[in-house]
């Protein structure tokens, strides 16, 4: 099956489809010895694609989601020898995996692990606007004024947060649970936002990244996802 040249180069790990277009415009890409054009297509099984005089082929990407438990650190290696999110997949993968969106040690929920650098950049890069949804638990009630402030922007001390969405508010036993969707990722952002609007923060769980949902994955459980599924979930 033929694929567009920019999509093919992105699958080779050379960056996003937009980024690899620069290689084509700079006349660094050839297909079967001829300079590639932006609208060219490639037959991966038959054509020879070169960038800067070197043959490039699609990498074998792996994608895993983990429902991170509390007490687990989101890092590739911990100086205090604590258990990390990568420890959950070491027996299943020999790839050098990256974390596409870290979580605090006491935050549970969806973590995506992959060796696909273009996806990591899309999710956590400085220009990323991929939505991430969290389930938040606070003490007491959640007023309409607090909802409005969380949604329109909160001053975290020199920085105003981007607009957010609040959904599925549930009140029970002197506590309130709600979902908040962010389009950015600052350090301890949700906890700091709650503190600024005088909410007593209790617990946090990430339930989605883009169209990728945590679903019914149990705490501590890992699931491997197909590349085709990831491509649809993140419009790759």
Residue numbers annotated as active site? 104
* Token representation of residue 109: 């929920």
Query: How do strand 200-209 and strand 108-114 relate by DSSP bridges?
Result: parallel
Q: What does R_g of the chain's alpha carbons equal in angstroms? A: 21
Give the ranges where the chain is alpha helix by DSSP (H).
5-11, 17-25, 117-124, 144-152, 189-196, 227-234
d(CA 144, CA 74): 34
* Token representation of residue 160: 């105003």
Indicate the SS3 state at residue 150.
helix
CB within 8 A of 144, min separation 6: which ones?
none
Query: Which of 221, 215, 219, 207 shows the shortest CA–CA distance to 64?
Result: 221
Query: How do strand 108-114 and strand 132-139 relate by DSSP bridges?
Result: unpaired
């Amino acid at each position: 099956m033929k694929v567009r040249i920019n999509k093919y180069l992105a699958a080779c790990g050379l960056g996003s489809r937009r980024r690899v277009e620069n290689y084509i415009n700079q006349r660094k890409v050839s297909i079967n010895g001829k300079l590639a054009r932006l609208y060219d297509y490639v037959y991966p099984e038959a054509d020879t694609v070169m960038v800067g005089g070197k043959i490039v082929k699609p990498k074998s990407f792996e994608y895993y989601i983990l429902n991170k438990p509390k007490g687990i650190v989101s890092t590739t290696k911990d100086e205090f020898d604590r258990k990390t999110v990568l420890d959950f997949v070491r027996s299943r993968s020999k790839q050098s995996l990256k974390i596409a969106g870290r979580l605090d040690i006491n935050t549970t929920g969806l973590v995506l692990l992959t060796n696909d650098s273009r996806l990591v950049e899309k999710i956590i890069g400085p220009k990323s606007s991929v939505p991430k949804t969290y389930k938040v638990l606070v003490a007491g009630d959640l007023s309409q004024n607090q909802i409005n402030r969380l949604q329109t922007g909160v001053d975290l001390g020199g920085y105003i947060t981007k607009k957010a969405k609040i959904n599925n508010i549930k009140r029970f036993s002197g506590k309130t649970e709600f979902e908040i969707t962010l389009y950015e990722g600052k350090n301890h952002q949700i906890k700091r936002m709650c503190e600024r609007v005088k909410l007593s923060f209790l617990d946090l769980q990430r339930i989605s990244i883009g169209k990728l949902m945590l679903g019914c994955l149990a705490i501590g459980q890992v699931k491997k996802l197909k590349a085709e599924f990831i491509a649809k979930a993140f419009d790759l």
